[in-house]
Amino acid sequence: MSLTRITDRLMFVLLWTSAVLVAVVIAAIILFVGKEGVTTFRTASLASVLLSPRWAPPQSFGILIFFLGSLAVTVLAMVIAVPVGLAGSIFLAKLAPEWMRVLMRPAINLFVGIPSVVYGYVGMTVLVPLARQVSGSVGFGLGVAGIILAVMVLPTITTVSEDAIRSVPTALVEGSLALGATRWETISRVILPAARPGILASIILAFARAFGETTAVQMVVGNAPIFPRNLFEPTSTLTSEIIQEMGQTAPGTTWYFSLFLMAFGLLLTSLVAILVVRYVARRGVAA
Amino acid sequence: MTAPSVPGMSRNLQARHRTERLASALLWAVGALLLLVLAWFLYYILSRGLPALDWSFITARPKAMDAGGGVGPELFNTFYLTFLSLLFSLPVGLGAGIYLAEYARPGRLTHLLRLSVETLASVPSIVFGLFGLIVFVNTIGASFNILSGALTLSLLNLPVLVRVTEEAIRAVPASYREGSLALGATRWQTTLHVVLPAAMQSIITGVSLVAGRAVGETALLIYTAGLTVSRYAPDFSPFAGGETLAVRIWYVKSVALLPDADRIASGASALLLIVVLVFNVLAVLPLVLRQWRDRRLAR
């Protein structure tokens, strides 16, 4: 066998190994984080960890409150970001003139590029004082976290939905216009239903991103393990709690392992999100 | 055509046109809002931060308790960590991307690999951080260090690099490969000498975007690269503490009690934003250059 043939074979093996390495990495993350997390149950009962709403280490390790906190913050962010992001995607795909599009593409990329700690910083210095003035509370809390997160996930919804809207067959659009429908009627009754799988995918991806966002949320959410009764009350999320307490817990304690359990919960959530996106996308345009 | 003569219909048509105009106005408003929010963000961060940026702030060492510290070592660490993380992730990311685009045949393994890339791309950065803590920090040394941070960061880069490479290579026309293979080149020779050069511009764009994301990363680095910097600057030792600009902002705003925390946070935010902007410009540069060249050639 000549040298070129040997190189060819060798490179194939190397490339294959790199690809398999990616699978090994994700498997290792699930395995290692999962193993540390599940160790929580050696010293604390399943029910007391997953169902108790009380987080008071080292007596009680109920992580439910953080899950609810994450959910509250994320749902609020989605309530704001989905309508705005979707409108943005329709605008970009169907209405915006060329010069506006040229301006908005890099702008949206920049939204993604701004580091999360900078979002947190702006939230802390602008929105928190504003919330304090409006409500008379400490300012830190659910509302500010929701708004900051909404801004952060907007690009995900806008770009993914725009792709979905663009990929709707022209024949469908022209058919609708030819029947006398206005542009808005075509958008709302033909394009959006046809683009539904892609739009759903964008929403799920944005949800997963918001659920896993750490630094920005930790800086503005107030970090108190309670469920907020209104927009101005502080709460705590899975991510903010991990970043807040990881440095203070001794390795090998139930407290330490319970933080890994929260991380494992985050990991499973993002895994489920990906599987749902795949399922939704496979159902295709016809759905 | 009897429709317009029915009075009810024409009123209906008027209503439909009102809705149309209203919807257009709303969509335009949202588009403008998105641009305004971004413009305000940039203005706010730069206008607050730029006055704090002077030579001593950019080069001086941070202070633990008193006012007047700089972010010199943090700025160095930001670039050093990003560079190291790319050094680790580029070979694997490019390799996996090339494999998926050029070699992978549909089947169970390919399906699993694609699922892995997608899943890895959606792992929250704090989860990477904890993984890096138990796998890298605990094996390399007792305390947080640059190497652990860079290795963990490279895992975050990986899925994006794979995707970018795969897409760039898929965009290369099949005729290129066929021409090369017909001349008797092997698969690898074709990939190395024909396909990769054609895909290089898109890959560079992708790498710039990855670098732009890496410089701003926080949650992943706090418990891997840590919150300290070396006594020497610049310190290329991979075992030194690796606090970056982004982590410094987080630290002074939510942990430390520095008298001038706001000056440091606003200055460092502006500095970080400038770095991100530069990487974003670098990302679109190959594309702009190509368009410019094409236009000149067309003339």
**Where exactly are the structural domains of chain B?**
73-298
Q: A184 and B19 in contact by Cβ < 8 A?
A: yes
Q: What is the pLDDT of residue B7?
A: 56
Q: What is the pLDDT of residue B258?
A: 82
Q: B135 and A32 in contact by Cβ < 8 A?
A: yes
Q: For residue A281, is pLDDT > 70?
A: yes
Residue of B93, B131, B249 lying closest to A33 (CB–CB): B131
Each residue's pLDDT tens digit, A82-116 = 999 999 999 999 999 988 888 888 888 888 889 99
Per-residue pLDDT of chain B (299 residues; tens, 9 = 90+): 344 445 556 778 888 889 999 999 999 999 999 999 999 999 999 999 999 888 888 888 888 777 888 888 999 999 999 999 999 999 999 999 999 999 999 999 999 999 999 999 999 999 999 999 999 988 887 689 999 999 999 999 999 999 999 999 999 999 999 999 999 999 999 999 999 999 998 999 899 989 999 999 999 999 998 888 888 778 888 888 889 999 999 998 888 778 888 888 999 999 999 999 998 888 888 778 888 888 888 77
Q: What is the pLDDT of residue A195?
A: 93
Residue of B16, B103, B250 lying closest to A117 (CB–CB): B250
Rounded to a whole number of angstroms, the distance from the CA of B262 to the nearest CA of chain A is 9
> Positive or negative CA dihedral for B116, B122, B127, B129?
positive
Give yes or no for a contact between A93 and A162, defined as CB atoms under 8 angstroms apart.
Answer: yes
Q: B20 and A11 in contact by Cβ < 8 A?
A: no
Q: A17 and B189 in contact by Cβ < 8 A?
A: no
For the domain B73-298, what is the CATH code? Answer: 1.10.3720.10
Rounded to a whole number of angstroms, the distance from the CA of B206 to the nearest CA of chain A is 12
Q: Which residue has the higher pLDDT, A206 or A284?
A: A206
Q: Which helix (H) or strand (E) holds A45?
A: none
Q: What is the pLDDT of residue B77?
A: 92
Q: In angstroms, rounded to a whole number, what is the distance separating the alpha carbons of residues A121 and A113? A: 15
Could you tell me the CATH superfamily of domain A43-282? MetI-like (1.10.3720.10)
Q: B273 and A114 in contact by Cβ < 8 A?
A: yes
- The residue in chain B having the minimum alpha-carbon distance to the alpha carbon of residue A239 is B126
Each residue's pLDDT tens digit, A17-72 = 999 999 999 999 999 999 999 999 888 888 888 888 888 888 888 889 999 999 99
Distance of CA B173 to the CA centre of its chain: 27
Q: How does the average pLDDT of chain A come out, rounded?
A: 90
Q: B20 and A246 in contact by Cβ < 8 A?
A: no
Q: For residue A287, is pLDDT > 50?
A: no
Phi, psi dihedral angles at A222 (to 5 degrees): 100, -25
Residue of B93, B131, B222 lying closest to A32 (CB–CB): B131
- For residue B118, give every residue at least 6 positions away whose Cβ sits within 8 Å of its Cβ, in sequence order, or none: A274, A278, B159
Q: A4 and B189 in contact by Cβ < 8 A?
A: yes
Enumerate the H helices of chain B as residue ranges: 7-49, 55-59, 72-98, 108-122, 125-132, 138-140, 146-170, 174-182, 187-190, 196-215, 219-222, 245-254, 261-298
Q: B250 and A263 in contact by Cβ < 8 A?
A: no
CA nearest neighbour of A150 among B33, B245, B160, B49: B33
Q: A124 and B253 in contact by Cβ < 8 A?
A: yes
- The residue in chain B having the minimum alpha-carbon distance to the alpha carbon of residue A124 is B253
* The pair of three-digit structure tokens given for residue B219, joined into one six-digit string: 């949650």
Distance of CA B213 to the CA centre of its chain: 3
Rounded to a whole number of angstroms, the distance from the CA of A115 to the nearest CA of chain B is 5
Question: Which of B18, B30, B264 is the mutation pick for testing A, counting most A CBs within 10 A?
Answer: B30
Each residue's pLDDT tens digit, A140-171 = 889 999 999 999 999 999 999 999 999 999 99
Q: What is the pLDDT of residue B8?
A: 58
Q: In angstroms, rounded to a whole number, what is the distance separating the alpha carbons of residues A278 and A272? A: 10
Rounded to a whole number of angstroms, the distance from the CA of B45 to the nearest CA of chain A is 8
- Which letter, b or e, does each residue of B104-140 get, where b requires 16 or more Cβ atoms within 10 Å of its Cβ? beeeeeeeebbbbbbbbbbbbbbbbbbbbbbbbbeeb
Q: B95 and A19 in contact by Cβ < 8 A?
A: yes
Rounded to a whole number of angstroms, the distance from the CA of A263 to the nearest CA of chain B is 6
Q: For residue A176, is pLDDT > 70?
A: yes
CA nearest neighbour of B158 among B186, B193, B131, B188: B131
Rounded to a whole number of angstroms, the distance from the CA of B184 to the nearest CA of chain A is 11
3-state secondary structure (DSSP) of residue A149:
helix
Residue of A7, A215, A273 lying closest to B250 (CB–CB): A215
Distance of CA B255 to the CA centre of its chain: 26
